[in-house]
Amino acid sequence: MNRFLWPLIGFAVLVVLLAVGLNLNPRDVPSPLVGKPAPAFALARLDAPERQFSPKEMLGKVWLLNVWASWCVSCRQEHPVLVELAKRQSVPLVGLNYKEVRGDGAIDSGKLDAAAEKRMVIERAGGWLARHGDPYSLSVLDIDGRVGIDYGVYGVPETYVIDKAGIIRMKHTGPVTPDILAGKILPLLGELSR
């Protein structure tokens, strides 16, 4: 009896380990930036390209930074959730438009000079927000993806919760679903705003 029980127990353990392992999300990589100050940047604003936005301006406020691009399919999926959030909540939502032109494989951006690329970025990003609704307090243009690297972006969309002291308190990779919003982001916002 005992002789056959042990292999069975071993098998059961293996099955449980595999079940847990295969159900983990490999994209869920813990960000080393949580608990650290949000990296500084100064980028042109989509609504007023001659003006720049910097995270310093948000000190004293709890805010969300959402990385998006018009070529990003998952962004379209999460967009209604963000639009709904912007209607209900007064939390500032800043969009980081990530490699709008360069990230789109369909465009050969090597042919464009910087000014032409910026014009194209503004036209595409602005057009997309006009069509799908604009939940953002403002969006900034990360044309070459440099700021994205500083924020450890590796899969658009990504969302950061940043507290009053400018510390990143949470990072979510992938589309924001109503569940994640209600279960994780909103409670954290409530806690940080107190």
Among 49, 92, 145, 174, binds another protein (CB under 8 A): 145
Q: How many residues interact with another protein (rule CB under 8 A)?
A: 22
| Binding piece for another protein, criterion CB under 8 A, among 13-21, 72-80, 99-107, 160-168 | 99-107
The answer to whether residue 183 forms part of the interface with another protein (CB under 8 A) is no
**98 in helix, strand or coil?**
strand
User: At which residue do the structure tokens 């959030």 appear?
Assistant: 85
Q: At what angle do helices 73-88 and 114-132 cross, to 10 degrees?
A: 60
State the Cα angle at 45 between 80 and 177, rounded to 5°: 20
Site string for another protein, 100-129 (x = CB under 8 A): --xx-x--x-xx------------------
| Interacting positions 19-78 with another protein (CB under 8 A) | 26, 29-33
- In whole angstroms, the minimum distance from the beta carbon of 194 to another protein comes to 29
Bridge partners, 44 (sequence order): 52
| 183 CA to centre of own chain | 17
